[in-house]
Amino acid sequence: MAERRVTVGWAEGLHARPASIFVRAATAAGVPVTIAKPGGSPVNAASMLAVLSLGAQGGEEIVLASDAEGAESALDRLAQLVSEGRDELPETV
């Protein structure tokens, strides 16, 4: 299983707009991805409600994971998005 540990770069955490940006990127990744807090239960990264339910705050670490083919590059892109706290989707997602 491929995994990336990343610090949430959005000051407000994964709430509202940042969560929406992340979920759209996870959906566009083309592989199933889960997101979790370290030691917590993973949830579907393409589900807005699941991502919001994590309550991930800015500066907290999260774990992105996938066991699908092509997961390494998809997780790299998602990890970069989260760590940079971008305000919109990059064109390469």
2-84: CATH superfamily: HPr-like (3.30.1340.10)
Known catalytic residues are 15
CA 15 – CA 71 distance, rounded (Å): 25
**Stretch (H or E) spanning 4:** strand 2-7
CA 67 – CA 71 distance, rounded (Å): 6
* Residues whose CB is less than 8 angstroms from the CB of residue 60 and which lie 6 or more positions away in sequence, other chains included: 7, 8, 13, 37
Query: Can you give the pTM of this predicted structure?
Result: 0.92
Amino acid at 17: R
Residue 86, pLDDT score:
83
Structural domain spans, the chain: 2-84
Terminal CA-to-CA distance of the chain, rounded, Å?
A: 21
Asked if pLDDT for residue 90 goes beyond 70, the answer is: no
Q: Give 8-59 pLDDT, tens digit per residue.
A: 999 999 999 999 999 999 999 999 999 999 999 999 999 999 999 999 999 9
Q: How many residues does the chain have?
A: 93
